[in-house]
Amino acid sequence: MQIDRHTDDFLTQARRQGGSAFFPALARRLVSDFWLREGQVLDAFSYGTARWLTADPLAERLVIHRFAIGARYAHAEALPANVRSRYEALDLSFRSDSPTFDECSLFTEALTWLDRQPGLLETIALMVRSVHYLVSPGPGYDISHSDPDLPFSIFVSLPIAENNAALRLAESILHEAMHLQLTLVEQAVPLIRNAQATGFSPWQQKDRPVRGLMHGLYVFRAIDEWLGAASESGLGFDQHHYVAKRRGQIAEEIAMVSDLGSSPALTERGRHFVQWLIDGRGSGNASSID
């Protein structure tokens, strides 16, 4: 794999000077390079989940809602049966009806919460082109998913009329967008040496590939940074309690992978990157580890 020097230099700079785990200055380059590298007939504007998976730019895109993420637009997309079955095999259940007014308002409110961190909404807008609505197994349960074979699609449930619904949905959107972004980073700079190596995941409570642990660490470090920014701007009592509880949970989970930075399954760049996240340097705070 040929290393993309721009991405490599950016990650090195972030380690040495501190910065956001969202990599707002890198996202545009990652996405642009992706389309140049792939050479697909699809582009960011014609992209759709079914179109991508079937490699057919003329496939019908079953748009059930169109919404703005910052200055860009994305689609809520229903999936035809032949594509939906791929994810139903993972026990994901889909909604295919158009979202209600309250659900659209909830999605907009979630994006407003994400906009409290400078540069974050623009990063999400670059990463998320298609959204699929999932059915939650019940109140209090949030379901989200992304697929490394789908570069710009996320799957989320909508906890309508539930406690802290907008914050929870915002976290789901951010969670899956950051998985997509790290996948693009991996395509530019090798971070994993041994894809077969495993370790215990505090998020899934079982052994998982080291790549999955790295993704979990990255995603939850980004979520923690966003929650920290959100906590600085006028929270109600319930919201404050929710944010404090989530940050405490995330800190405990990250502590459980504190030795990941020394894993021989990571490349040298991967070890530097992972240790930066473990040390909390991917949280917008200027610092140096060199």
Number of domains in the chain: 1
Extract long-range pairs of 145-151: CB within 8 Å, 24+ residues apart. 145/87, 145/90, 145/92, 145/176, 146/176, 146/179, 146/180, 147/87, 148/179, 148/183, 149/53, 150/49, 150/52, 150/53, 151/34, 151/52, 151/180, 151/183, 151/184
Stated pTM of the model? 0.94
Is residue 188 one of the residues assigned to a domain? no
- Cα separation, 160 vs 145, in Å, equals 18
Are residues 206 and 250 in contact, defined by beta-carbon separation less than 8 angstroms? no
Is residue 161 one of the residues assigned to a domain? yes
**Alpha carbon separation from 221 to 217, 260, 279 (Å, rounded):** 6, 14, 10
So what's the pLDDT on residue 283?
57
Is residue 289's pLDDT more than 50? no
The residue range of the domain holding 140 is: 36-179
Is residue 71 one of the residues assigned to a domain? yes
Which 8-state DSSP code applies to residue 252?
H
Are residues 59 and 48 in contact, defined by beta-carbon separation less than 8 angstroms? yes
Is residue 287's pLDDT more than 50? no
137-193 tens-digit pLDDT: 999 999 999 999 999 999 999 999 999 999 999 999 999 999 999 999 999 999 999
pLDDT-derived band at 3 (thresholds 50, 70, 90) equals confident
Is residue 152 one of the residues assigned to a domain? yes
Is residue 5 one of the residues assigned to a domain? no
Distant-in-sequence, close-in-space partners of 142: CB < 8 Å, separation ≥ 6: 136, 156, 157, 159, 168, 169, 171, 172
Is residue 137 one of the residues assigned to a domain? yes
Find the angle CA(152)-CA(205)-CA(184) to the nearest 5 degrees. Answer: 20
Is residue 171 one of the residues assigned to a domain? yes
Is residue 264 one of the residues assigned to a domain? no
- Cα separation, 263 vs 271, in Å, equals 7
